[in-house]
Every structure is written in C-alpha cells, then in structure tokens.
Amino acid sequence: MRLTSGVLVLTALMVLSASAKTTWPCTFSFSNNYDLNSISDTEFDAVDGNDNDYFFKVCDPTTVAGGISSTKPCDADTQVCQQSVTTGVSCGIGPPTTSELSILNGVSTSGVVMKTTGGVVGCGNTARSTTINVVCIDDFSGKAEGSLDAVDEEPSCTYTINLYTIAGCPGNGGGGGSGGIPGGAVFIIILVCVLVIYICGGVGYNYYKGNRGVELVPNLEFWKDLPYLLKDGVMFIVNTATGKSGSYGGSTASF
C-alpha cells in the first residue's frame, strides 16, 4: 500500500506539472491592451509569391505544420515554420518580442507586432527572421476576419506577415480559442480550492474530536510519511524501467 501511495503521489505531481505548462504570452499591455486568446488555437497559413507556406500560431510554437509531409520539421520553439514538399525551415525562434502597431501601409491602425529572429541561416549568411503584424480589422473594411496578405520578403530571408483580425483591436479578443484562462490555470485554481476545503475541513473535524496543536493537521501520519512515499515511488519507477527489483520500505506508517 505504501508503494502504491508513492506512485500515486508522483503521478499527481507529474499531472500537475503538465497541466500547468504554459506557452508564450497571449495578452499584451502597451498604450492599449490586447488579448489574442480568441485566435491562439488557430494555425494560420500565409503564402509567398513562390507558393511557399508559412505556418504559424500567435501564442505557441509551430514545429510541424499544416499536414504537409515534411522530411525536416522546423526547429524547437519556431513561431513561423516555412514548409515546402520536402523541407521545413524555421523563420524565427520564439517567444517573439512584441510592440504596438500604429500604422500599416500608410493607414493609422492598432494591433500587436510580433518579431522572431534566429531562424535557419540562408540568403548568404543571414538568419531568417519574421515580423507578424496582428492588425485591427476595423481599420481595413475590405479584409475578412483572419485573412492574410501575401508574405513580403524584403530584404531576403526577412519576412513580414499581416494578419487581420478583431483580436488585433484594443480590448477585443479572448472568449474563444483556448479561452481567457488557460486549462493549466483552471486546474490549479480547482486544486487550490480542494486543498483549502480539505485543510479547513480536516482541522475542523480534528478540533471537534478533541485534538489540539499539530494533531489538528488532517492525515498527519500521511504527511509525515510523504518524503518516504516519494522515495518509494521514484525507486519503483526507476527499477521498473531498468528491470531491477528491490524493496520499498522507507516508511514505517500504516495505511
């Protein structure tokens, strides 16, 4: 039972770690506030004049993109992944640096400028870089939501992508995609609430039973045993992976 408890504790910790994992920022505060969560799950596909595809997300890496059979996925933490039939080329490593957009093609507008550098070297000896302009669609009446201009490459290996969306307008966004609160944050909030109920309820019950001092701690023997449980769980996993056998008796508490 002690070994099983140790493995369960380790599993819970790993689930918590995975659930709490976040990617790049998706809300920005400049002179205006921007929330790109409503488009954070969307993988956009911009195309240049040579029919190369540039796949990207605004808040996440894009290393294997678009369902194209690529023999070379883009590097880790790539934001913009250029794809052809046979290759994937990183055009910028994230997370991006960001600033506020104020003018585009001579039109006063608003939005978020996202720039990544450090992509695959090409064009002589130049590391590819990309600027994504997330543009407020309200200032461009002829554009459809989520539409993209053709990728501009000027100078060589330096790319500019314009994305037109309501999320690029100050105070808009959120509400869609992954939502305003990431799933990991929701998990943590629920976990904290459960822990508060557990601690307060346990202390109240123990006080009612006449316990005082440290004896008020709910399941005190379990918490005293927790280091040994973790040790047993780690040893079990390691020995299982290596094919060894061993005893797991670091704790003396009974359950």
**What's the burial of 192, exposed, middle or buried (CB within 10 Å: 0-12/13-18/19+)?**
exposed
> DSSP 3-state assignment of 152?
strand
Average pLDDT, the chain: 82
Rounded-to-integer distance, Cα 152 and Cα 241, Å: 51
Sequence-separated contacts (24+) of 57-61 with Cβ below 8 Å: 58/26, 58/114, 58/132, 58/134, 58/163, 59/23, 59/24, 59/25, 59/26, 60/23, 60/24, 61/23, 61/94
**Residue 34 and residue 25 in contact, taking contact as beta carbons nearer than 8 Å:** no
**To which residue do tokens 């998990």 refer?**
187
Strand pairing of 44-47 and 53-56? antiparallel
Q: What is the pLDDT of residues 80-139, one digit of tens each?
A: 999 876 678 899 999 999 999 999 999 999 999 999 999 999 888 899 999 999 999 999
Q: What is the pLDDT of residues 15-68, one digit of tens each?
A: 444 444 437 999 999 999 999 999 999 999 999 988 888 999 999 998 876 655
Q: What angle do CA 215, 188, 175 make, to 5 degrees?
A: 150
